[in-house]
Amino acid sequence: MSTIRKCLVTLKKVFLTIIQVAILYFFALLGNLIVNWTHLPVSGSIVGLFLVLALLHFNVLKLSAVERGASFLMSEMLLFFIPSAVAIIQYKDQILRHGSQFLIVIILSTVTVMIVTGVVAQFYVHRFAGKKGEI
């Protein structure tokens, strides 16, 4: 394959990724609008994710329309934690003063996430395996 052809293929992939990230960003903005309009006590980006999930579930939105952009965002997820790390450094005094309380919250939330993830995974394993007759 020629060098120009390789460049065009790469540019196409980059452009597709940018478009798909923009689609996901649109749903985050739409979620923010819904939260502002309805005064829901949750983050607008969470509402946007549920909108994407619902559209994917009902085949209104094809997975291929957001898959590359979502994969890119997941691969760069570490960048999203930089503000948290900066906040930890910025509020060092409060963390040192209330560190044990933070630690308890972190441990409890981690254990809760692990338990809920395990229960949901087991539920779906049994549900789909039961349909196929594997269990």
Torsion of CA 78, 45, 110, 96, to 10 degrees: 70
Contact 45, 31 (CB under 8 A): yes
Query: Residue 76: which pLDDT band, with cuts at 50, 70 and 90?
Result: confident
Q: Chain-wide mean pLDDT for the chain?
A: 89
Contact 66, 24 (CB under 8 A): yes
Entry pTM: 0.63
Residue 124 sits at the vertex; the CA angle it makes with 119 and 127, to the nearest 5 degrees, is 125
Mean pLDDT throughout 76-90? 79
Query: Residue 85: which pLDDT band, with cuts at 50, 70 and 90?
Result: confident
- The percent of residues in the chain predicted with pLDDT above 70, rounded, is 95
* Alpha-helix runs per DSSP H in the chain: 3-38, 44-57, 67-75, 82-90, 92-97, 99-132
In the numeric block, the tokens 């394993």 are attached to 125
Residue 135 reports pLDDT greater than 60: no
